[in-house]
Structure formats: C-alpha cells, structure tokens
Amino acid sequence: MDKKFITKENKTAYVKLERIVLDQLDHPGIVRLYFTFQDSLSLYMALESCEGGELFDQITRKGRLTEDEARFYAAEVVDALEYIHNLGVIHRDIKPENLLLTAEGHIKIADFGSVKPMQDSQITVLPNAASDDKACTFVGTAAYVPPEVLNSSPATFGNDLWALGCTLYQMLSGTSPFKDASEWLIFQRIIARELRFPDYFSEEARDVIDRLLDLDPSRRPGAGPDGYASLKRHPFFKGVDWDNLRSQIPPKLAPEPGTQSPAGDDVHDSSWSPAHIGDGSAAVVRQPDGATSSSEGTGHITRLASIDSFDSKWQQFLEPGESVLMISMVKKLQKLTSKKVQLILTNKPKLIYVDPSKLIVKGNIIWSDNPNDLSIQVTSPSNFKICTPKKVMSFEDAKQRAYQWKKAIEGLQNR
C-alpha cells in the first residue's frame, strides 16, 4: 500500500485499524494476517493466500450460482459474520469481491479496511477508534450499502446483514438487487427498497433475502433478540450442518489452482472468449433474436460454458447482430490504484470497458484501423497498454492474455 496515497486519501487510521483488528481475529472463515512491515514508500500486509480467487469472479464466470451452491457459501459467510459480530465488530463492506475462496473451495471474508469496532467490542483497539465519528458516514460499496447508512444512522450489525442479503441475491441472480446507471440512482432504489425477484428464485430464497433487506435493521434475522439462531433456523438453510461447515466438501466452483483444460485455456470461463479473427478460435455471436451461437473452426477452443448466462449479462452493450470477439475481466491500472473492469471487443469494431458491478460503460476507446491512432503494447504476458493519440490506458489480465488482446485488436485492424 502506497504511503503517499494512504495519507492523501486520509486512510491512515483505517489502515492501522485493519491491521489491529485482523491481528486479533482467529476463525477459519476470516483471512489470516501473518505479519506486516514497511519501507520508506509502502506498507505491506502478508495475508493468507486464497488460491480460488474472489467469489465475484466465479459468479461472473458461471452467470449465477445454483441454490445449493449459494446456500453453502451464504452459510459460511453467516458463520464468519456471527463470529465477528459476537466480538463486537462490524465489517461494513461485505460483497462478493471480498469473499475469497480457498484452494479447497471454502469462503473467507477479506478486506477489513472499513471495519468498525463497537463500544463494547472484545477487540483491543487504539484509543477512540471504537468511537470514531465516521461511524455514520458512507463506507463500503454503493450497491450493498444499507438505507440506514444513507440516512446517517449509527452503524449496527444490521449493516452487514443487509449486505449479506444483497450478496445472496447476487449469488442467485448474477446481479446486485439495486443496480442502476449511477451511484445516486442506486441510492434512490435502496431508500425506496425497489426490490424485484426473478421468477426462478425459490420461496425460501425470496423470503430470507426479503427479511435480510428489511428497512429496519433491528428486524433483520441475525440482529434481533435471538441473534443468529433466527437466521440459521430459516427454511432456506434447512439441512446445513452448522457445526461441521468447514469440514464439509464445498461445491466444485473454482477451477483447480494452477490447472488448465486439456486445450491449455480455461474454456469453462464464460467471462472470456477468444477472438475469432481467422485463427480457428470460437466467437460468441448475439443473434437478432437475442440467442447465442458458438462459431467454431479447427482451433483448440471447442466450446464456451454458460453461453446463455454470459450473453444475457453483456448483451445490453451490443447492437443487433453485433458479436463479442473477445471479453475478459481485467484491472485498469492507474498511478496509485487499480479498478476491475470488463474489457469487451466486438466486430463493429468497438472497444469498451464496463464496470462489472454496476453494469455501466466506463470508457469507450475510439476505434481506428490506423495503428498510429490505435495501438497495443505488450509489456508482459499479463500487462498491456492501449494507446491512442489522446490517452494511454494500462491493463492487467490475470490470466496472461496480453498477447491475445494484441492479436485480436490488430487482427481487426488488418481485416
């Protein structure tokens, strides 16, 4: 973590508090902090490795989770939240991006940068940390923020339970329950509780989410007099062995760490498709009626899993007959920060990047067949730059597809 950035953004107290709290937590559902150190420029936190990555990426890859998968992972989140709430700590940023999967497929809660110890917390903190006057201010992520925070009410354990409801909704549907084009519009939906359930949600799933998203935080299951017992008793969690959660075999959700398909690419990753530019790869095509098809040559990619889920998530950014040639979850790098975006290349040609949580276009890179006006520079298998006369944008693809992006863009320019 860059010290200058931390100071500039007034995050020093939050960083210190995160370290102090993590150092005292001991639960299999919480990412473990091993040690910290610093040099003249940066602070470092050595955290437990979670090889399965973010739950968010797995939801994106699959389109949505089955109810059995969602039940198991929601139960593990409930188990970890009960632990931290019993210690008098509010996480305040529960969301799929902060739920990490171990190599075995179990959930661990990460990112305690917004943590709030209550006055009676069992966690030992710095003087005044528990009574921070920022308790009522907005922290966390817009799509998961509870209405009471928007109304400047004090922080409570109910904040995390609301976020749990939003997260469970996203597990089952693939999108957050209050999505809109801007944060302000999202906040209006949250305050008005504009909540709609897809037809395929079970009655049990609808009911538990509906209760977790109660406008009154004291009425959310887990926050009342019965505590977490009322939430664990809900019919949605019927059959969950709460005493042996961590010893159970989790759903086969994340790919094996370090493994590849026989073809050498993760063909079951529906967040990415290879460019069909004459090399025999497959392309995902949006038909005029909204259906999808997979065009195949003699190359090494044979199919994409969850095509329907994939297409329905991104088709709003396509025109009739327009096809996605390449798409990948990447990090857009800036000087001190990075932001996950979905980078999309179409046959129009069109090159855009989309906020994957809010599903809004964050940037439209002006296309040109002239390499002087649009070029791509690969600096490593994971890193590449897209260059235009007015701007140079840096990206990082964790699956090391920088050269494939270069080939796809240049292939369209030379078509």
Angle between helices 203-212 and 158-173 (to 10 degrees): 150
Dihedral, 387, 390, 396, 400 alpha carbons, nearest 10? -10
273 and 260 in contact (C-beta within 8 Å)? no
| Cα–Cα distance list, 227 to 73, 108, 224, 399 (Å) | 20, 21, 5, 42
Quote the Cα angle for 347-353-357, to 5°. 125
289 carries an active-site annotation: no
Q: Decide the pairing of beta strands 33-38 and 89-90.
A: unpaired
The candidate with the shortest Cα–Cα distance to 357, out of 329, 335, 386, is: 329
Return the DSSP state at 287: -
- Give the separation between CA 157 and CA 87, rounded to whole angstroms: 11
Other CB atoms within 10 A of residue 290 CB: 12
Q: Decide the pairing of beta strands 283-286 and 350-355.
A: unpaired
178 and 167 in contact (C-beta within 8 Å)? no
Scanning 87-242, the segments in alpha helix (DSSP H) are: 147-150, 158-173, 183-192, 203-212, 228-232
Considering the candidates 2, 23, 79, 93, report the single residue annotated as catalytic: 93
Quote the Cα angle for 90-96-100, to 5°. 85
Residues annotated as catalytic are 93
